[in-house]
């Protein structure tokens, strides 16, 4: 199979001229900026936000480039991973014509973005083991399939998808394979980032929202070959990452030690919680997890959910989702929170 990015991109996206901002046109050093109609006096905050932010976030990307081992030209930053997901639809999927493939049960935003963009979603369920059904996937792919979303570790099941299976798709599909690695910091499985140089059809999504503890900042990353990154930059809003987010992210990325400790503790707590839950007679299965949450199958999950929320403990009810009958998804909290969860569950039905 021959991969050709230009055959995948929508004609209107190829044709369009990107918005050219004032800060785009001038990128040298200067001392007087009278080009962008900003308020030159300052802003009513202790830090100055009167200037537009760097549209390509180069300082922040340099920092990420060092941490991730990826040249900055291969990094796109979005308002959460969700922005990158939406832009991929808008660049590659012709509304009413093209389709994408997802593997339920999985992250909800792929389908939301597809519907928003009037793009057909083909669903190929994971197997009972929450792995890819390669022969069903092969049958689902057609000439108008543009994107395949692989979430690994997968939300809400928690497991990593077998690496060899992902490679089979990467090697045989001439659309884009989007691997969502939102939970990769917790996984034993390695990131696909080193494979970027090998696969021009690979897009990797990561986020600062989970292990990095910055869900409130809204900063998501896409890693891909430069031609794909160039298209993402072409269609994004010019100033999609605000100055406060850029500055705070740069500061946070210099503070890695607490992140590593939190991740380690989360993984240890996950094992502890799993053992405690398996002691409870209404808990049937705690599925293997490479993420910061566990999927738990139990007798009458809805009743357990209601019991916990009445006690002020909120978990995610996934019992209406395919392959997740009677399952709750439980995020790993602090040791104290996890202990309170277990104490509450021990009193359930007592």
Ligand X SMILES: *Cc1c(COP(=O)(O)O)cnc(C)c1O
Q: Would you call 38 helix, strand, or coil by DSSP? A: coil
Q: How far is the CB of 214 from ligand X (least distance, A)?
A: 9
Residue nearest ligand X (C-beta atom): 80
Q: Which is nearer to ligand X, 23 or 79 (CB)?
A: 79
Q: Which is nearer to ligand X, 81 or 245 (CB)?
A: 81
Task: Write the DSSP assignment of 265-310 as a string of letters.
Answer: HHHHHHHHHHHHHHTSTTEEEE---SSSEEEEEETTHHHHHHHHHH
Q: Stretches 79-87, 228-236, 244-252, 317-325: which one binds ligand X (CB under 6 A)?
A: 79-87
Q: How far is CA 261 from CA 63, 242, 293, 333, in A?
A: 20, 29, 17, 14
Sheet holding 293-298, edge to edge: 283-286, 293-298, 327-331, 316-317
Binders of ligand X among residues 239 to 268 (CB under 6 A) are none
Q: Which is nearer to ligand X, 209 or 266 (CB)?
A: 209
Q: How far is the CB of 30 from ligand X (least distance, A)?
A: 34
Query: Binding of ligand X at residue 157 (CB under 6 A)?
Result: no
Q: Which is nearer to ligand X, 124 or 283 (CB)?
A: 124
What is the signed CA dihedral for 122, 127, 133, 137, rounded to 10 degrees? Answer: 0
Residue 167 CA, chain-centre distance (Å), reads 19
- Please answer whether residues 135 and 163 qualify as being in contact, where contact means their C-beta atoms are separated by less than 8 angstroms: no
Q: Stretches 93-101, 208-216, 260-268, 320-328: which one binds ligand X (CB under 6 A)?
A: 208-216
Spatial CA neighbour of 78 closest among 255, 259, 245? 245
Query: Binding of ligand X at residue 276 (CB under 6 A)?
Result: no
Spatial CA neighbour of 313 closest among 282, 339, 294, 287? 339
Please tell me whether the peptide bond between 105 and the residue prior to it is cis, using omega within 30 degrees of 0: yes
Q: Contact with ligand X (CB under 6 A): which of 75, 82, 157, 211? A: 82
Query: Binding of ligand X at residue 220 (CB under 6 A)?
Result: yes
Q: Stretches 209-217, 235-243, 300-308, 310-318: which one binds ligand X (CB under 6 A)?
A: 209-217
Q: How far is the CB of 151 from ligand X (least distance, A)?
A: 5
Query: Binding of ligand X at residue 81 (CB under 6 A)?
Result: yes
Q: Which is nearer to ligand X, 80 or 225 (CB)?
A: 80
Q: Which is nearer to ligand X, 177 or 283 (CB)?
A: 177
CA-to-CA distance for 80 and 240, rounded, in angstroms?
A: 10
Q: How far is the CB of 76 from ligand X (least distance, A)?
A: 12
β-strands 176-180, 220-224 pairing: unpaired
Q: Which is nearer to ligand X, 156 or 225 (CB)?
A: 156
Query: Binding of ligand X at residue 151 (CB under 6 A)?
Result: yes
Number of C-beta neighbours around residue 251 at 10 A? 10
Query: Binding of ligand X at residue 180 (CB under 6 A)?
Result: yes
Q: Which is nearer to ligand X, 9 or 77 (CB)?
A: 77
Give me the residues that bind ligand X (CB under 6 A), please.
80-82, 107, 151, 155, 180, 182, 207, 209-210, 215, 220
């Amino acid at each position: 199979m021959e991969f050709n990015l230009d055959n995948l991109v929508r004609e209107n996206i190829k044709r369009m001229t990107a918005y050219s901002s004032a800060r785009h046109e001038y990128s040298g050093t200067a001392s007087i900026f009278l080009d962008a109609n900003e308020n030159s006096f300052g802003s009513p905050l202790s830090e100055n936000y009167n200037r537009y932010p760097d549209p390509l976030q180069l300082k922040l990307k340099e920092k990420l480039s060092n941490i991730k081992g990826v040249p900055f030209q291969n990094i796109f930053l979005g308002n959460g991973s969700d922005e990158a997901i939406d832009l991929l639809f808008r660049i590659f999927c012709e509304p009413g014509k093209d389709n994408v493939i997802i593997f339920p049960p999985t992250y909800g935003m792929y389908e939301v973005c597809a519907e928003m963009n009037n793009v057909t979603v083909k669903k190929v369920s994971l197997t009972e083991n929450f792995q890819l059904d390669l022969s069903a996937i092969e049958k689902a792919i057609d000439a108008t399939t543009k994107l395949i979303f692989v979430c690994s570790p997968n939300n809400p099941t928690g497991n990593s998808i077998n690496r060899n299976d992902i490679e089979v798709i990467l090697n045989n599909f001439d659309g884009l394979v989007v691997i969502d690695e939102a939970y990769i910091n917790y996984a034993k499985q390695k990131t696909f980032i080193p494979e970027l140089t090998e696969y021009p059809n690979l897009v990797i999504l990561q986020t600062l929202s989970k292990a990095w503890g910055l869900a409130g900042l809204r900063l998501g990353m896409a890693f891909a070959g430069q031609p794909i990154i160039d298209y993402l930059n072409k269609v994004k809003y010019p100033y999609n990452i605000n100055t406060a987010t850029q500055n705070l992210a740069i500061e946070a990325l210099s503070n890695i030690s607490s992140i590593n400790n939190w991740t380690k503790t989360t993984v240890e707590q996950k094992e502890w919680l799993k053992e405690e839950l398996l002691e409870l007679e209404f808990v049937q299965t705690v599925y293997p997890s490479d993420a910061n949450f566990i999927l738990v199958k139990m007798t009458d999950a809805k009743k357990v959910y209601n019991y916990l929320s009445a006690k002020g403990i909120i978990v995610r009810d996934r019992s209406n989702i395919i392959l997740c009958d009677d399952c709750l998804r439980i995020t790993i909290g602090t040791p104290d929170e996890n202990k309170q969860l277990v104490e509450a569950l021990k009193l359930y039905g007592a």
